[in-house]
């Protein structure tokens, strides 16, 4: 083991829990709110391009869904394993272990990525004819073969940044990547190059810019500190590392199927046009996670560090705090989508995607289970319960596939939405049962219950009065202004309802400051 020299940076500074959540959370949310509109701007440009049909949107996002699923196989669980072990090795000053695991993770991941990319490239004609049933998908698949290789390298850099809780670096490179894609997409939209092939190529070009910036930051700020040790084939350490990665891989594989299975089932059973409607429904559904996701990415490394320091009090307080506030925020956002789903979809994506908003009325009620199940799984990963997480996901996946096939057969596109939501409900319920056995935490049920009451009343008021405001034939800018006004008013009323609770929030933050 090599001792750390004075010229090497301390990548994992000792801070209180409040410092981690406020300071690091600031960068997560600042960039998160700057990044979030990017994905929706891209989708808005694609959906409103006259050259692009609903079926084209279905093909593009079904291919993206397939790539996301295959990304699990090139990962092999090593990304999460790296995030779990790097802070532990750094705290113990085991620099040889750090260098060894980074090298092995990169070599294995990139090797599998090459094999999968070759398979996609040479199988693109067959997939276009027999699976996507659309010849346009051949070129798109080939673009995404190169994208698949690049995203592997980009995510390796990101996993190192977030393992050491460097939220500024982590979000900065994602911001640059996304803004590059937005810039290229605007160029195509304004120069009459708005075909689905060009929009696919833009993702590859934006990723290239992101890789260059991420590589520069890594080399400047991390490389010398992380590479100060020696490559060492330590069998006990590697056995533990592989064991965690294996269970993480199985879990990610199952969750990858769970996350993408409905999109693929819709494409296969209902066709590419229905897949296009479902893809834009998912984009509405995922807005909530976009808003909460930034802080969620910090939960896993913080929990892993807390577990290494054996600080149960800090862990209990952390979970109780976030469960209460995540629940209320998610319920508030879900209510807006339930009340205004068709109007939001029409304003964002155009009248041809109104159906995406109509099915969101039935689907976004399940958003809270999506958010809280992801939170539960982040905690389970942080405490090392990856095997138990796999068991939960296996049960959830089996139920999701069974329910989705039956509901799609009976109810078509609406059935897909039901299967999608019920799957997240089971994921939340099963993960919560196990988590409660391992960790004591107590959400503020009175706070949550009172907000359910006021949110329900406001939602009914909006649903029964929105016809007085929205006229679909009106200028979309006017309708967008109405949406923003209603949304701000809705959230302001909830804020006023909770004004006493927010004053107590200062005391909760003081409690976090006391725990180092």
Of the two residues 503 and 189, the one the predictor is more confident about is: 189
Residue 196 near residue 119 (C-beta atoms within 8 A):
no
pLDDT band at residue 49 using 50, 70 and 90 as cut-offs = confident
The DSSP-derived string for 234-260 is -HHHHHHHHHHHHHHHHHHHHHHHHHH
Determine how many CB atoms are found less than 10 A away from the CB of residue 350. Answer: 16
Two tokens, residue 381: 């990963």
Two tokens, residue 67: 């790539």
Q: Give the tens place of pLDDT for each residue, 194-206.
A: 888 898 899 999 9
Helix H, strand E, coil C: the string for 360-380 is HHHHHHHHHHHHHHHHHHHHH
Least confident of 93-97, 194-198, 234-238, 337-341: 234-238
Our measurement of the distance from residue 36's CA atom to the centroid of its chain's CA atoms, rounded to an integer in Å, reads 11
Two tokens, residue 10: 């301390």
Q: Give the tens place of pLDDT for each residue, 113-162.
A: 888 889 889 999 998 888 888 888 898 999 989 998 898 889 888 888 87
Please list, in sequence order, all residues whose beta carbon lies within 8 angstroms of the beta carbon of residue 410, skipping any fewer than 6 positions away: none
pLDDT band at residue 6 using 50, 70 and 90 as cut-offs = very low
How does 126-158 read in b/e, with b if 16+ C-beta sit within 10 Å? ebbeeebebebbbbbbbbbbbbbbbbbbbbbbb
Residue 29 near residue 295 (C-beta atoms within 8 A):
yes
Domain layout of the chain by residue ranges: 54-246, 272-370+436-516
Average pLDDT over residues 411-431: 90
Question: Is 0.85 topped by the overall pTM?
Answer: no
pLDDT band at residue 217 using 50, 70 and 90 as cut-offs = very high
pLDDT band at residue 165 using 50, 70 and 90 as cut-offs = confident
The residue behind tokens 């009325």 is: 361
pLDDT band at residue 355 using 50, 70 and 90 as cut-offs = very high
Two tokens, residue 143: 């673009």
> What does residue 470 show for φ and ψ, rounded to 5 degrees?
-90, 130
In 251-410, DSSP assigns E strands to none
Burial class (CB in 10 A: 0-12, 13-18, 19+), 109: buried
> What does residue 233 show for φ and ψ, rounded to 5 degrees?
-85, 80
Q: Give the tens place of pLDDT for each residue, 362-414.
A: 888 888 898 888 888 888 877 877 778 878 888 888 888 899 899 998 999 99
What's the mean per-residue pLDDT of the chain?
81
């Amino acid at each position: 083991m090599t001792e750390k020299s004075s010229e090497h940076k301390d990548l994992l500074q000792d801070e209180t829990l409040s410092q981690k959540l406020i300071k690091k959370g600031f960068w997560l949310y600042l960039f998160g709110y700057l990044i979030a509109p990017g994905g929706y701007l891209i989708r808005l440009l694609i959906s409103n391009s006259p050259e692009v049909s609903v079926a084209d949107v279905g093909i593009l996002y079904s291919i993206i869904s397939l790539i996301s699923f295959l990304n699990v196989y090139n990962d092999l669980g090593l990304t999460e394993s790296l995030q779990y072990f790097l802070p532990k090795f750094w705290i113990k000053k085991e620099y040889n272990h750090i260098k060894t695991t980074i090298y092995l993770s990169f070599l294995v991941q990139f090797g599998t990525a090459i094999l999968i990319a070759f398979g996609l490239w040479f199988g693109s004609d067959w997939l276009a004819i027999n699976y996507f049933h659309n010849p346009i998908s051949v070129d798109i698949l080939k673009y995404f073969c190169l994208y698949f290789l690049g995203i592997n390298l980009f995510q390796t850099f990101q996993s190192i940044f977030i393992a050491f809780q460097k939220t500024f670096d982590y979000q900065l490179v994602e911001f640059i990547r996304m803004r590059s894609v937005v810039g290229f997409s605007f160029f195509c939209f304004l120069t009459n190059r708005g075909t689905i092939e060009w929009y696919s190529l833009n993702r590859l070009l934006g990723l290239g810019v992101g890789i260059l910036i991420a590589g520069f930051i890594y080399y400047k700020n991390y490389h010398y500190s992380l590479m100060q040790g020696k490559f060492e084939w330590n069998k006990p350490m590697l056995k533990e590392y592989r064991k965690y990665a294996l269970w993480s891989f199985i879990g990610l594989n199952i969750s990858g199927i769970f996350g993408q299975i409905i999109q693929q089932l819709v494409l296969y059973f209902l066709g590419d046009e229905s897949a296009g409607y479902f893809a834009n429904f998912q984009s509405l559904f995922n807005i909530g996670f976009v808003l909460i996701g930034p802080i969620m990415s910090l939960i896993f490394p913080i929990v892993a560090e807390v577990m290494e320091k054996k600080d149960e009090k800090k862990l209990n307080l952390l979970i109780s705090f976030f469960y209460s506030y995540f629940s209320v925020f998610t319920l508030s956002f879900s209510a807006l989508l339930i009340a205004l789903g068709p109007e939001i979809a029409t304003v964002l994506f155009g009248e041809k995607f109104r159906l995406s908003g109509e099915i969101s009325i039935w689907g976004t009620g399940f958003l809270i289970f999506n958010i809280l199940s992801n939170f539960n799984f982040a905690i389970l990963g942080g405490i090392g319960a990856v095997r138990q997480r796999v068991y939960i996901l296996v049960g959830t996946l089996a139920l999701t596939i069974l329910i989705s096939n039956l509901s799609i057969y009976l109810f078509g596109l609406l059935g897909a939405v039901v299967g999608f939501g019920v799957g997240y409900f089971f994921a939340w319920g099963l993960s919560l049962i196990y988590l409660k056995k391992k960790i004591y935490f107590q959400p503020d049920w009175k706070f949550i219950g009172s907000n359910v009451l006021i949110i329900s009343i406001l939602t009914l008021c909006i649903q029964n009065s929105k016809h007085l405001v929205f006229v679909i034939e009106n200028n979309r800018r006017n309708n967008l202004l109405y949406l923003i006004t209603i949304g701000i008013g809705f959230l302001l009323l909830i804020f006023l309802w909770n004004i006493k609770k927010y004053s107590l929030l200062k005391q909760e933050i003081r409690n976090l400051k006391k725990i180092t």
